[in-house]
C-alpha cells in the first residue's frame, strides 16, 4: 500500500471547537427544513447562510471496501502528511504487516497526530450528531452537506493510545537503503525534496522497476534535494502529490505573505497564520528572520502556539542528515541549521503549548501568531479568529493549500478581519514535471485522472496538465489498473560448487554454453540451482542393478547438438557412402533431401532434422550418424 | 610628433618586429593607434614616414616575413590604413608595392594568420581608414578587395561580418559622393565601378533564396540610409526598392526584422510602408484572433490575413514565440515615434492586442481557441514579453483610445501591479506605464487634472502601493517609492488626488522607509518624503512605534545627512534640501541661515564627493537668492544694457563668514576630487564677480589677517586639513578671493587628472619598459 493519507476536508462541515466558551457559536440558530420541521436543529446550526454539523469533527477514511486491508503486507509512507490515517488502518482492519518510513517522517508524523488528538480531546463535546447522516435525511440537507460522500464511514479522531500503537508498527529506513520484501521485490526510499524525511520509493525486482513519486519538490528549501538520478530506467513511474495550486509560484507567495504581514503590523493590526506545526512554517520563519529587521518589525512579537511547538522547533534542528547541504554544513560549525533558534534566543519568536498558561501573561499586541489547525475547526486558531475577527486592522493569512480558505472562513462570517490567501505549495508543478519526465524517461507514467486534463476552473490552460509521450495512464477512485509490463525473467543463483563443475564450450566467439544438471530450490521467491544429490553409493555390487532401475532420473544423458548442416557437403558425403539418385528440394523452412532409391527422405530445417524411412532402422541409424558428423555435441 | 617620442619610436618598432617579444597588452596597441591618428590629424603622414625610417622598416619586415604575432599583424594593417588615408602617403606606399602586398590577394589573405578573426578585422579596419580619397577607390576596385569584403559579410566571427558590412557602406558612400559633384547620377552606368559592383551585389543578394544573404543586403542598406540622406541615396533607393518590395511577395518573408529595420530607416513609398506594417502586425493579429470569440476585431486583421508561418512561429516553441513578440513590440514602439509612422495608426487594435498579451502573461485571458490555450501556456509568467508589452503599452498612452479600452488598460495594469507573480523588473515597467497612462489618458478640459476614471483607478492603486511599499524585495519598494514621487510631483496640488492619498496609509509607510536597511530605498524614500513635504502632504498620524515621525521631517533628513553610512541617501537629502531652498519651503525659510550653516557643517565632513558637490550646489542657490543670477559672459548679450547686480549688503558678507560659507568653498577648492574643486572654483568666481564693487582696499591682500589665511591655505595644501581657518572678517576673505588665481586654477582643473600619465611619451615608455623586463629575464637565463 502506498501511503495512507487522511481526508480532513470533511471537518469543514462541522462547527469550530472553541477553546473558551463562544457566545456567538453557542447562540447560532438551529437549522430547520423548508417546511419548518426543526427535528435537526440540535445537530445542525446555521451561520451566514451556511449549515454546519454541531458535533465532534469527523474524518473521511481511506477506501476500505475495495480491498481487505488485513491482507496488506506493507505500507510505504512518503511523507508525514501522508500517514495521518495510519491508526485507523493498523488498529481497526486486522492489518498485521509492516509500515516503512524514514525517521523524520515518523517523528513529525507523530507530532501532527499528537497535535490533532490534543486539539480535539481538550475540548470535549458531549454531543455526537448522527441523525443527519441518515441517507434519507441527508438528501434534504443543503449543499455541501447534501453532496458529502460516504458520510456513514466518517470517523471521530483516534486516541493517543492508537497513535502509539500504530507508530510501533513502523520500521525506520534511511534514504537509498535497500529493503527486501519477501524476496519478491526490493524497495528503496529516495529523497523527494519536499519535507524533512520525505521520500519517493523505488520498487524493483531484478528485471522490472517501478517508481512511486509522491510529494516531491525541486525548489531549494530546507530538506535534502530530490534524488532524480535514481528514478531513471523505470518501467513505470507512478506520479502523485503535485502542487495543489499550479498557478501560484511559492516565491511570489512568500513575498506576498511578508508584504501583507508588514502592512498589517505597521498599521497596528495583528496577523494570524493558520498552519501545521511543521513544514512550510520553518521556511516562513527563515524568511521572516531575514525580513523583520529590514521591515522595521524587530519589536513585534511572533508567537508559535501548538501543543507540539517546542518539539517541532527542536526536532528540526537535530535531523541534520535530512537537511539540504547548506543547513547540513552549519551543523559542523557548529551552528543551528535553522535561524529560528536565533529568533527564539533573542525573544523575537516565542512558543507556547496553548493559549492558556504563560502565553496569556506574555501576550502583547500587535503581534503575529502561527497556530493550528489550518481548517479553522479546532485548535488555538479558533480562539484568535473569534478574538480578532471583528477588527479590520487584523489579517488572517492562509499559507497551507489543503483547505479552501473561503470554506474555512464560512462559520466565522460576517468577518471584518482582512483575509489574504497566499498558498505556499512547494511540490512539483507541471513545468517541473515535464522537465523531470524528460530527465528520468520512464517507459510509462501512471497518475490520477485529474493531472491529465486542465483544472475545471481553467479549462483553457493546456499547460496545467501532464504532457508526456506515451500519454500518461490515468486512474480514478476505486479503479483497478493493470500496469503495462509483464514479468518475463527470474534471476537464478548457481551455487559455487555447481558452477565449478560446469564446462563451458565456446560455440561462437564470446558465447559459451554449458549443460547444467541441478536441483532448482525455490524459497521466499529466491531461486537457487544446487548440485543434484549424488546417487547414493551402492552399498554392494549386488544391488547395483536394482538401484539403477529405481532411479530412472539418472538416465544416460544424451548430448546436446548445435550447428547447421551444409546441404551440398551433406549430399557429397551421402554419395561417398554409396547413396545415389539424390535429389534436393528447397522448402520454405529448409531443404528436403530425397533418396529416391532407398525411398527415404531427410527433412533439414533450422531447428530440426527428420529422417523418414520405411521401417529400416539400420538405414536410419546410418543416416543419423552421417547427419551428426556435421553437428557439434556437448 | 614631439622629439621625445621620435627618440623612442625606433626602439618600439624594433620590439614590434621582434617575434620573440610578446606585446602582452592589447590596449597598448590600441592606444598607440589612437596616438598615431591624433598625430596624423595635424601632420603629414608622408613626412612622418620619411622622417622615421624605422616605421617603414617595420612595415616591410612584416610584409616579408609575417613572423610576428597576429596581434601585431592586425596592428600593422590598421596602421598602414591610417597612413594611407592621406592621398600623397597612399601614393608613396603604393609605389613601394606595400599596399598590394598587405591588402591584395597575395597579401594578408594568403597568410596563415588570416584564420585569426583579429587579423581579418585588422584588414577590414585598415581598408576602412584607407578609403578616404579617389585613389583608394581605384585601388579597391583593382585589387579585388571588394570581392573579399563580400565574402567576409558571412564571416563566422560576428565582429568581422559586421565590420565588413560597415566597410561596404563606407566604400559605397565614398564612391557615390566622390562621383556625384552636386547633382545625383541617375544613370547606373555613370556610377563609379566600385559603387556599381557593390550595388549589383546587394541587388543580387536581395534576389537570393538564402535568408542570410538577404539579411546581409538589408543590413547594408539600413546602414547606408541611416548614415546619410544625400541625393544619391534617393537614386539608390529608387533602384533597389522594387527588389525589396518583392521580398513581401515571398512566403515566408525572409529576414522580416532586418526588413523592418530598413523600412524604419528609409522614407519608403506609402504602399511599401503599408505592406511592411501589415507584416509587422501579423503576430499581434494572430494573438487577437486566437483569443477573441467575435469574428475578429476590425483594423488589425484587414488585409493581413495572418500568414500561416507567423502562426507556426508563434506556436513552434517558447523561445520562438517570445522572440517574435518582443521584436514586434519593440519595432512598433520605435515606429510610433517616427515621422514615417503609418497613418492611420491602428491604435485600438494595437492596444487591444497589447492588453491581451499582458493578460496571456498573467493567465487571466480565457482564450476561445486551442491556439489561444497554447499561447496561454507559452506566455504564462513570461517576464520578457511582459516587459516588452508594458513598454509598448506606455508608448500607446500617447494616442487617443476609447474609454472602455482605457478602463481595460487600467485593469490590466492593476492586475500586474497587484499580482504576487510579477517580478521586480515587470513591476518597474508597470509603474512606468501606469504613470504615462495617468498623464495622457482621457484628459479633461482642465488638462492637468486627473479624470474621474483615473481617480477611481488611484483609489484601487493606493492599497496595492501600500503592499508594495512593504515588499520584502528592495527593488520593489524602491520602484514603488519612485513611482509615488512622480505621482506627487504631477498631481500633488490636485484636491482629489490629495484626498485619495491622505485616506490611505501610503504617506506613513513611505515615511517609515526612511529607515529602510537598503540604502537605495532610503534614498528614494528621502526623495518621496521631500516631495510629500513640499506639497504639504506629510503623514499626519505619527505612529507611536516610530519616534522619528514625531519630529519634523527636516530633523529626520538632517539626521540622515549626518549619520547615514551610505552615500545615496545623503545625496538624496541634499537634493531635497536644495529644492526646498530654491522653492522657499516653510521649514527652511523659518531660519535659512541656521539651515545653510547646519547643512554645510555636515557636508564639509562628508566622505562622498557627490555630497560635497551637492553641498556647493546648495551654497550656490543660497548665494544666487541673495545676490542675483551670475552675470552672463555671452557675446550676444553685449548690446543689452547690463542690469547692475545689487551690491551685497555688508551684513550678508558677515553672514557668509559666519556660516562659514567662505571656509567651506575654500576647502572645497583644495578637494582631492576634481569635480568638487571645479565646482568650488566656479562658486568662488561667482562670489568674486559679485563682490568686485565691495568696499575694502585693493591692497587688503597685505593685511595680516589675509596673510595668516594664506598661510593656513598653504598648510592645507600640504595636507593638514584639520585646522580651521578661524574667525575671519569679510575684508580678509575678499582679499584672499582676489589674490587667488581662480582662472588659472579653473584651467588646470579642466585638464583631466591623468593627463600626464596619458601622454604618448608615457605610453611608449610603458611599452618599452614591459619589454625591458623581458630582456632582463632573458639575460638571467643566459
Which long-range contacts (C-beta less than 8 Å, at least 24 apart) are formed by A404-407? A404/A9, A404/A12, A407/A12, A407/A144
Average pLDDT, rounded, for chain A: 90
Is A592 within 8 Å of chain B by CB?
no
Q: Does A287 touch chain B (CB under 8 A)?
A: yes
Report whether A113 contacts A206 (CB < 8 A): no
Residues in B closer than 8 angstroms to A263, CB to CB, are 466-467, 469-470, 505, 509
Cβ-based contacts under 8 A for chains A and B: 82
Q: Which three cell numbers stand for residue B753?
A: 587628472
Nearest-Cα residue of chain B relative to residue A255: B472
| Contact between B462 and B417 (Cβ < 8 Å) | no
User: Residue B590's pLDDT is what?
Assistant: 87
Residue (of A197, A233, A188, A236) closest to A215 by Cα position: A197
Per-residue pLDDT tens over the stretch A389-447: 999 999 999 999 999 999 999 999 999 999 999 999 999 999 999 999 999 999 999 99
Pick the residue from chain A with its C-alpha nearest to B514.
A296
B367 vs A contacts (CB less than 8 Å)? 460
pLDDT at A485 over 50: yes
B381 near A CB under 8 A:
yes
Which residue of A287, A460, A463 is in closest CB contact with B366?
A460
The per-residue pLDDT for B538 is 75
Taking only the tens place, the pLDDT of each residue in B194-223 is 888 999 999 999 999 888 899 999 999 988
- pLDDT-derived band at A475 (thresholds 50, 70, 90) equals very high
Q: What is the pLDDT of residue B455?
A: 86
Please name the member of A259, A290, A464 whose beta carbon is closest to the beta carbon of B470.
A259
The angle that helices B609-627 and B674-691 make with each other, rounded to 10 degrees, is 10
Q: Which runs of consecutive H residues, i.e. helices, occur in A399-429? A: 405-409
**Chain A CB contacts of B515 below 8 Å:** 296
CB contacts under 8 A, B 676-735 vs A, are none
- Return the residue of B nearest to A267 by Cα: B505
B373, B472, B518 ranked by CB distance to A255: nearest: B472
| Nearest Cβ partner for A294 among B372, B517, B545 | B517
Are B373 and A294 a contacting pair at CB < 8 A? no
Tell whether A293 lies on the interface with B, counting CB pairs under 8 A.
yes
> What is the C-alpha to C-alpha distance for residues A272 and A419, in angstroms, rounded to an integer?
10
What is the per-residue pLDDT for B308? 60
Position A276 scores a pLDDT of 96
Query: Can you give the pLDDT at residue B370?
Result: 77
Q: Which of A260, A291, A463 sits opposite B467 (nearest CB)?
A: A260
CA distance linking residue A187 with residue A342, whole number of Å: 39
**Residue A58 neighbours by CB under 8 Å, 6+ apart:** A10, A11, A14, A154, A155, A156, A157
Judge: A259–B467 Cβ closer than 8 Å, yes or no.
yes
Residue A268's closest chain B neighbor by CA? B543
Does the predicted interface ipTM exceed a cut of 0.90? no
Angstrom CA distances, B640 to B631, B636, B645, B646, B693, stand at 12, 8, 14, 18, 21
pLDDT digit string, tens, across residues A131-188: 899 988 899 899 889 999 889 899 999 999 999 999 999 999 999 999 999 988 999 9
A-interface mutation test, from B374, B417, B420, most A Cβ less than 10 A away: B420
| A255 contacts in chain B (CB < 8 Å) | 420, 471-473, 476
Report DSSP letters for B653-699, one per residue.
HHHHHHTTHHHHHHHHHT-SSHHHHHHHHHHHHHHHHHHTTSSS-GG
Q: Which among B471, B508, B545 is the nearest to A259, CB-wise? A: B471
Q: Tell me the C-alpha distance between A266 and A268, whole Å.
A: 5
CA separation, residue A222 to residues A287, B241, B768 (Å): 12, 63, 58
Dist CA A81 CA A276 (whole Å): 10
> Consecutive sets of 10 residues in chain B, 782 residues long: mean pLDDT of each?
86 85 77 89 90 90 83 92 93 87 85 90 94 89 89 92 93 77 58 87 91 90 80 82 83 79 73 76 83 58 54 74 88 81 83 92 80 83 94 92 90 94 94 92 59 87 94 94 95 90 90 91 96 83 46 87 93 95 89 91 89 93 82 48 56 79 83 86 87 57 56 62 63 78 81 67 79 49 40
Cα–Cα separations (whole angstroms), residue A332 to A178, A180, A344: 28, 34, 21
Contact call for B376 and A252, based on CB within 8 A: no
pLDDT for res A235: 95
Q: Judge if the upstream peptide bond of residue A147 is cis by omega within 30 degrees of 0.
A: no
Cβ count within 10 A of residue A192 = 30
Contact A259 B512 (CB under 8 A): no
Put simply, the answer to whether B509 touches A263 (Cβ < 8 Å) is yes
Average pLDDT over residues A226-246: 95
- Is A263–B363 a contact, with Cβ atoms under 8 angstroms apart? no
Using CB atoms, which residue from A255, A293, A296 is nearest to B512?
Answer: A296
Interface mutation target, options B378, B427, B470, chain A, most CBs of A under 10 Å: B470
Chain A contact set for B476 (CB, 8 A) = 255
CA–CA dist B75, B26 (Å, integer)? 10
Quote the pLDDT of residue B774: 44
Q: Chain A within 8 Å of B544 (Cβ-Cβ)?
A: no
Q: What is the spatial distance between Cα A282 and Cα A223, in angstroms, rounded to a whole number?
A: 11
A521: contact with B, CB 8 A cutoff? no
CB nearest B472 (choices: A259, A267, A296): A259
> Which residues fall within 8 angstroms of residue A242, CB to CB, at 6 or more apart?
A427, A428, A429, A430, A433, A451
What lies within 8 Å, CB to CB, of A410 at 6+ separation is A12, A47, A48, A50, A52
Q: Verify whether the Cβ–Cβ distance B470 to A458 is below 8 Å.
A: no
Instruction: Please tell me the distance from the alpha carbon of residue B507 to that of residue B533, in angstroms, as a whole number.
Output: 10
Chain A residue numbers with beta carbons less than 8 Å from the beta carbon of B363 are 247, 458, 461
Q: Which residues of A touch B505 (CB under 8 A)?
A: 263, 266-267
Q: B522: nearest CA in chain A? A: A294
Check B373 against A462: CB less than 8 A apart. Answer: yes
**Among A249, A296, A463, beta carbon nearest to B376:** A463
What is the spatial distance between Cα B600 and Cα B707, in angstroms, rounded to a whole number?
25
Residue A572 predicted with pLDDT over 70: yes
- Closest in B363, B473, B508 to A255, CB measured: B473
CA distance A436 to chain B (A): 18
| Cβ(B624)–Cβ(B630) below 8 Å | yes
Compare all CA atoms of chain A with the CA of B517 and give the residue at the minimum distance. Answer: A294
* Contact status of A260 with chain B (Cβ, < 8 Å): yes
Phi, psi at B385, each rounded to 5°: -65, -40
Sheet with A519-523: strands ordered across = A492-494, A526-530, A519-523
Picking from A114-128, A548-562, A586-600, B414-428, which range would have the lowest pLDDT averaged per residue? A548-562
> What is the least distance, in Å, from the CA of B363 to any CA of chain A?
8
| Substitution target from A258, A259, A454 for chain B, most B beta carbons within 10 A | A259
| Smallest CA–CA distance from B418 into chain A, residue | A256
The pTM of the full predicted model, rounded to 2 decimals, is 0.76
- The beta-carbon neighbor of A462 closest among B377, B471, B546 is B377
B376, B466, B469 member nearest A460 (Cβ): B376
Task: For residue A548, name the pLDDT band (cuts at 50, 70, 90).
Answer: very low
Q: Which residues pair with A505 in a beta bridge?
A: A513
Q: Which residues of B touch A460 (CB under 8 A)?
A: 366-367, 372-373, 376
* Whether B336 contacts chain A with CB within 8 A: no
**Considering only alpha carbons, which residue of chain B is nearest residue A422?**
B420
Amino acid at each position: 500500500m502506498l501511503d495512507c493519507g487522511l481526508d480532513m476536508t470533511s471537518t469543514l462541515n462541522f462547527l469550530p471547537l472553541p477553546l473558551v466558551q463562544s457566545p456567538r457559536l453557542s447562540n447560532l440558530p438551529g437549522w430547520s427544513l423548508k417546511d419548518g420541521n426543526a427535528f435537526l436543529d440540535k445537530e445542525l446550526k446555521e451561520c451566514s447562510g451556511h449549515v454546519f454539523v454541531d458535533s465532534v469533527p469527523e474524518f473521511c477514511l481511506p477506501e476500505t471496501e475495495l480491498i481487505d486491508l488485513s491482507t496488506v503486507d506493507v505500507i510505504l509512507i512518503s511523507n508525514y502528511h501522508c500517514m495521518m490515517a495510519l491508526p485507523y488502518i493498523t488498529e481497526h482492519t486486522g492489518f498485521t504487516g509492516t509500515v516503512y518510513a524514514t525517521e523524520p517522517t515518523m517523528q513529525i508524523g507523530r507530532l501532527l497526530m499528537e497535535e490533532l488528538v490534543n486539539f480535539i480531546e481538550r475540548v470535549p463535546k458531549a454531543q455526537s450528531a448522527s441523525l443527519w447522516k441518515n441517507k434519507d435525511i441527508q438528501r434534504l440537507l443543503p449543499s455541501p452537506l447534501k453532496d458529502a460522500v460516504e458520510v456513514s464511514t466518517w470517523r471521530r479522531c483516534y486516541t493517543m493510545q492508537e497513535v502509539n500503537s500504530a507508530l510501533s508498527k513502523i520500521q525506520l529506513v534511511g534514504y537509498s537503503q535497500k529493503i527486501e520484501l519477501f524476496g519478491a521485490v526490493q524497495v528503496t526510499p529516495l529523497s523527494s525534496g519536499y519535507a524533512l524525511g520525505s521520500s519517493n520509493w523505488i520498487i524493483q525486482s531484478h528485471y522490472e522497476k517501478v517508481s512511486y513519486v509522491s510529494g516531491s519538490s525541486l525548489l531549494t528549501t530546507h530538506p535534502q534535494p530530490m534524488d532524480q538520478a535514481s528514478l531513471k530506467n523505470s518501467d513505470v513511474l507512478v506520479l502523485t502529490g503535485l502542487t495543489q495550486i499550479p498557478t501560484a509560484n511559492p516565491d511570489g507567495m512568500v513575498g506576498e505573505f511578508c508584504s501583507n504581514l508588514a502592512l498589517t503590523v505597521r498599521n497596528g493590526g495583528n496577523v494570524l497564520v493558520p498552519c501545521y506545526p511543521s513544514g512550510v512554517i520553518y521556511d516562513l520563519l527563515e524568511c521572516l528572520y531575514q525580513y523583520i529587521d529590514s521591515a522595521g518589525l524587530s519589536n513585534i512579537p511572533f508567537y508559535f502556539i501548538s501543543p507540539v511547538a517546542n518539539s517541532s522547533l527542536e526536532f528540526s534542528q537535530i535531523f541534520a542528515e535530512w537537511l539540504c547541504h547548506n543547513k547540513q554544513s552549519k551543523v559542523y560549525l557548529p551552528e543551528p541549521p535553522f535561524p529560528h533558534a536565533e529568533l527564539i534566543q533573542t525573544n523575537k519568536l516565542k512558543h507556547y503549548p496553548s493559549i492558556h498558561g504563560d502565553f496569556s501573561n506574555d501576550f502583547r499586541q500587535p503581534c503575529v501568531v502561527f497556530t493550528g489547525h489550518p481548517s479553522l475547526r479546532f485548535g488555538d486558531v479558533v480562539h484568535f479568529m473569534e478574538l480578532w475577527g471583528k477588527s479590520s486592522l487584523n489579517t488572517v493569512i492562509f499559507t497551507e493549500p489543503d483547505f479552501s480558505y473561503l470554506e474555512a472562513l464560512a462559520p466565522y462570517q460576517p468577518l471584518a478581519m482582512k483575509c489574504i490567501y497566499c498558498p505556499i505549495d512547494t511540490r512539483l508543478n507541471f513545468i517541473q514535471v515535464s522537465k523531470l519526465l524528460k530527465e528520468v524517461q520512464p517507459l510509462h507514467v501512471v497518475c490520477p485522472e485529474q493531472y491529465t486534463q486542465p483544472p475545471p476552473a481553467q479549462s483553457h490552460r493546456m499547460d496545467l496538465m501532464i504532457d508526456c509521450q506515451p500519454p500518461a495512464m490515468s486512474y480514478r477512485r476505486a479503479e483497478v489498473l493493470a500496469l503495462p509490463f509483464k514479468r518475463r525473467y527470474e534471476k537464478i543463483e548457481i551455487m559455487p560448487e555447481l558452477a565449478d563443475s560446469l564446462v563451458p564450450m565456446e560455440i561462437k566467439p564470446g558465447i559459451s554454453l554449458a549443460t547444467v544438471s541441478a536441483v532448482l530450490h525455490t524459497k521466499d521467491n529466491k531461486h537457487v540451482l544446487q548440485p543434484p544429490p549424488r546417487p547414493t553409493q551402492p552399498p554392494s555390487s549386488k544391488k547395483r542393478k536394482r538401484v539403477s532401475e529405481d532411479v530412472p532420473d539418472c538416465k544416460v544423458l544424451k548430448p546436446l547438438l548445435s550447428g547447421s548442416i551444409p546441404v551440398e557437403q551433406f549430399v557429397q558425403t551421402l554419395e561417398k557412402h554409396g547413396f545415389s539418385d539424390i535429389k534436393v528440394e528447397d522448402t520454405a523452412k529448409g531443404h528436403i533431401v530425397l533418396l529416391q532409391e532407398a525411398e527415404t527422405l531427410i527433412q533439414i530445417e533450422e531447428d530440426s532434422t527428420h529422417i523418414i524411412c520405411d521401417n529400416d532402422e539400420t538405414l536410419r541409424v546410418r543416416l543419423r550418424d552421417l547427419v551428426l558428423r556435421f553437428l557439434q555435441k556437448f | 610628433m614631439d622629439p621625445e617620442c621620435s627618440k623612442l619610436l625606433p626602439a618600439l618598432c624594433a620590439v614590434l618586429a621582434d617575434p620573440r617579444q610578446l606585446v602582452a597588452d592589447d590596449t597598448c596597441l590600441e592606444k598607440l593607434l589612437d596616438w598615431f591618428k591624433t598625430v596624423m590629424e595635424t601632420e603629414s603622414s608622408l613626412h612622418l614616414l620619411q622622417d622615421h625610417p624605422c616605421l617603414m622598416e617595420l612595415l616591410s619586415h612584416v610584409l616579408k616575413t609575417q613572423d610576428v604575432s597576429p596581434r601585431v599583424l592586425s596592428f600593422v594593417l590598421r596602421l598602414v590604413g591610417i597612413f594611407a588615408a592621406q592621398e600623397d602617403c597612399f601614393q608613396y606606399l603604393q609605389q613601394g608595392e606595400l599596399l598590394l602586398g598587405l591588402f591584395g590577394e597575395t597579401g594578408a589573405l594568403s597568410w596563415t594568420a588570416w584564420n585569426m578573426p583579429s587579423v581579418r578585422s585588422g584588414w577590414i579596419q585598415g581598408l576602412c581608414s584607407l578609403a578616404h580619397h579617389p585613389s583608394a577607390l581605384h585601388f579597391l576596385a583593382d585589387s579585388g578587395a571588394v570581392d573579399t569584403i563580400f565574402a567576409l559579410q558571412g564571416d563566422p566571427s560576428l565582429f568581422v561580418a559586421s565590420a565588413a558590412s560597415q566597410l561596404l557602406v563606407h566604400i559605397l558612400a565614398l564612391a557615390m559622393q566622390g562621383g556625384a559633384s552636386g547633382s545625383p547620377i541617375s544613370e547606373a552606368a555613370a556610377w563609379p565601378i566600385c559603387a556599381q559592383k557593390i550595388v549589383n551585389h546587394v541587388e543580387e543578394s536581395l534576389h537570393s533564396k538564402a535568408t542570410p544573404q538577404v539579411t546581409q543586403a538589408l543590413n547594408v542598406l539600413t546602414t547606408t540610409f541611416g548614415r546619410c540622406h544625400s541625393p544619391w541615396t534617393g537614386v539608390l533607393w529608387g533602384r533597389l526598392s522594387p527588389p525589396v518590395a518583392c521580398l513581401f511577395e515571398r512566403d515566408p518573408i525572409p529576414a522580416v526584422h532586418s526588413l523592418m529595420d530598413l523600412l524604419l530607416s528609409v522614407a519608403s513609398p506609402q504602399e511599401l510602408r503599408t505592406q511592411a506594417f501589415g507584416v509587422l502586425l501579423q503576430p499581434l493579429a494572430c494573438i487577437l484572433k486566437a483569443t477573441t470569440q467575435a469574428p475578429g476585431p476590425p483594423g488589425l486583421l484587414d488585409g493581413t490575413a495572418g500568414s500561416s508561418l507567423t502562426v507556426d512561429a508563434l506556436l513552434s516553441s517558447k523561445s520562438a514565440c517570445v522572440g517574435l513578440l518582443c521584436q514586434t513590440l519593440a519595432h512598433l514602439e520605435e515606429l510610433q515615434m517616427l515621422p514615417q509612422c503609418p497613418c492611420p495608426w491602428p491604435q485600438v487594435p494595437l492596444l487591444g492586442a497589447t492588453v491581451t498579451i499582458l493578460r496571456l502573461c498573467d493567465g487571466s485571458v480565457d482564450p476561445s481557441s486551442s491556439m489561444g490555450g497554447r499561447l496561454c501556456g507559452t506566455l504564462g509568467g513570461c517576464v520578457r514579453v511582459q516587459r516588452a508589452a508594458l513598454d509598448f503599452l506606455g508608448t500607446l498612452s500617447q494616442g487617443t483610445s476609447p474609454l472602455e479600452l482605457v478602463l481595460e488598460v487600467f485593469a490590466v495594469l492593476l492586475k500586474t501591479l497587484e499580482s504576487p507573480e510579477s517580478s521586480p523588473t515587470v513591476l518597474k515597467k508597470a509603474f512606468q506605464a501606469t504613470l504615462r497612462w495617468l498623464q495622457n489618458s482621457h484628459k479633461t478640459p482642465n488638462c492637468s487634472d486627473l479624470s474621474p476614471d483615473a481617480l477611481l483607478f488611484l483609489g484601487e492603486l493606493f492599497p496595492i502601493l501600500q503592499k508594495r511599499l512593504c515588499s520584502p524585495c528592495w527593488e520593489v519598494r524602491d520602484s514603488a517609492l519612485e513611482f509615488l514621487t512622480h505621482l506627487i510631483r504631477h498631481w500633488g496640488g490636485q484636491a482629489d488626488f490629495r484626498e485619495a492619498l491622505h485616506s490611505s496609509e501610503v504617506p506613513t509607510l513611505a515615511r517609515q522607509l526612511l529607515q529602510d536597511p537598503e540604502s537605495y530605498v532610503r534614498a528614494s524614500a528621502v526623495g518621496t518624503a521631500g516631495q510629500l513635504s513640499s506639497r504639504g502632504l506629510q503623514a499626519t498620524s505619527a505612529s507611536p512605534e516610530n519616534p522619528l515621525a514625531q519630529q519634523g521631517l527636516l530633523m529626520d533628513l538632517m539626521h540622515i545627512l549626518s549619520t547615514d553610512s551610505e552615500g545615496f541617501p545623503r545625496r538624496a537629502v541634499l537634493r531635497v534640501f536644495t529644492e526646498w531652498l530654491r522653492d522657499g519651503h516653510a521649514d527652511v525659510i523659518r531660519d535659512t541661515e541656521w539651515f545653510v550653516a547646519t547643512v554645510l557643517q555636515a557636508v564639509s565632513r562628508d566622505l562622498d564627493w557627490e555630497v560635497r558637490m551637492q553641498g556647493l550646489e546648495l551654497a550656490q542657490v543660497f548665494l544666487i537668492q541673495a545676490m542675483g543670477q551670475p552675470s552672463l559672459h555671452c557675446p550676444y548679450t553685449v548690446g543689452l544694457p547690463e542690469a547692475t547686480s545689487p551690491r551685497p549688503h555688508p551684513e550678508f558678507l558677515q553672514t557668509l563668514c559666519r556660516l562659514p560659507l567662505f571656509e567651506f568653498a575654500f576647502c572645497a577648492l583644495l578637494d582631492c576630487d576634481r569635480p568638487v574643486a571645479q565646482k568650488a572654483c566656479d562658486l568662488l568666481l561667482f562670489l568674486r564677480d559679485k563682490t568686485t564693487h565691495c568696499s575694502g582696499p585693493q591692497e587688503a591682500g597685505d593685511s595680516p589677517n589675509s596673510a595668516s589665511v594664506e598661510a593656513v591655505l598653504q598648510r592645507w595644501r600640504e595636507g593638514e586639513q584639520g585646522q580651521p581657518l578661524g574667525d575671519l572678517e569679510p575684508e580678509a576673505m575678499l582679499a584672499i578671493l582676489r589674490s587667488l588665481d581662480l582662472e588659472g586654477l579653473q584651467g588646470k582643473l579642466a585638464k583631466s587628472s591623468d593627463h600626464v600619465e596619458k601622454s604618448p611619451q608615457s605610453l611608449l615608455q610603458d611599452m618599452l619598459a614591459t619589454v625591458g623586463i623581458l630582456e632582463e629575464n632573458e639575460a638571467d637565463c643566459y
